[in-house]
Amino acid sequence: MRIEVEGASAVSGVFVLPEKAKWILVLGHGAGAGMHHPFMSALAGELAKVGVATLRYQFPYMEEKRKAPDRPAVLTATVAAAVRAAAKAVPDLPLLAGGKSMGGRMTSQAAAEGMLTEVRGLVFFGFPLHPPKQPGKKRAEHLAKVRLPMLFLQGTRDDLADLKLLKPICKKLGKLATLRVIETADHSFHMLKKSGRSDEEVLRELAETTAEWAAYLQE
């Protein structure tokens, strides 16, 4: 499908709509790979198995095959446009939004700016708290303005999110934040062999955790 973005060119989107879906998750990609990256496709497949439909979409720079990400205002406008497209296409399904790395962070920025009024909760598959091996908390300052439940799915080897910094941030957010730590996973949720777990098993865990958390939101 095509998604019209205010102030930018239209972008592509793809739905995965399983039978008996209970939610739809609007899913943004990371900075270095688009919506067709194997991780994104596999994640959408696992989410479908647990009743979570998805709308994956491109950011304009990825659509146009440019290397540098768009300005934040364009990225957040794209998030908002994708959310509106999902709400229009499947109005009977409750909406979640989030994404992998940058896609998740831009979704939270859009939420902090009040752009995602239709959304019930945010899901971050590897929130990029800081640049690689440059610990800092500036990228999380806007989270205090988010008024939605947030699920953080983070690996212990994620060099874009020092858990010593992220855990206190989540604690400060109180009941709005849920942190699920994946032992030995890196920022791409690749596992160490010594963990005894495959990347596929972890993808399944990410999907199941998302579905369980979404069910809790309905209680």
H helices of the chain, in order, are 38-49, 60-63, 72-89, 102-112, 163-173, 199-218
For the CA atoms of the chain, what is the radius of gyration? Answer: 16
Whose tokens are 């596999």? That residue is 42
Locate 46 and state its tokens.
């696992």
Instruction: Give the domain ranges of the chain.
Output: 2-218
Fold type of domain 2-218: Rossmann fold (3.40.50)
Nearest Cα to Cα of residue 131 among 43, 31, 63: 31
Separation of alpha carbons 80 and 117, rounded Å: 9
0.85 exceeded by the pTM?
yes
The 8-class DSSP code of residue 10 comes to: -
Residue 171 and residue 137 in contact, taking contact as beta carbons nearer than 8 Å: no
Q: What is the pLDDT along the chain (219 residues), one digit of tens a residue?
A: 999 999 898 999 999 999 999 999 999 999 999 999 999 999 999 999 999 999 999 999 999 999 999 999 999 999 999 999 999 999 999 999 999 999 999 999 999 999 999 999 999 999 999 999 899 999 999 999 999 999 999 999 999 999 999 999 999 999 999 999 999 999 999 999 888 999 999 999 999 999 999 999 877
Separation of alpha carbons 87 and 111, rounded Å: 15
Separation of alpha carbons 43 and 61, rounded Å: 22
Nearest Cα to Cα of residue 27 among 106, 141, 133, 88: 106
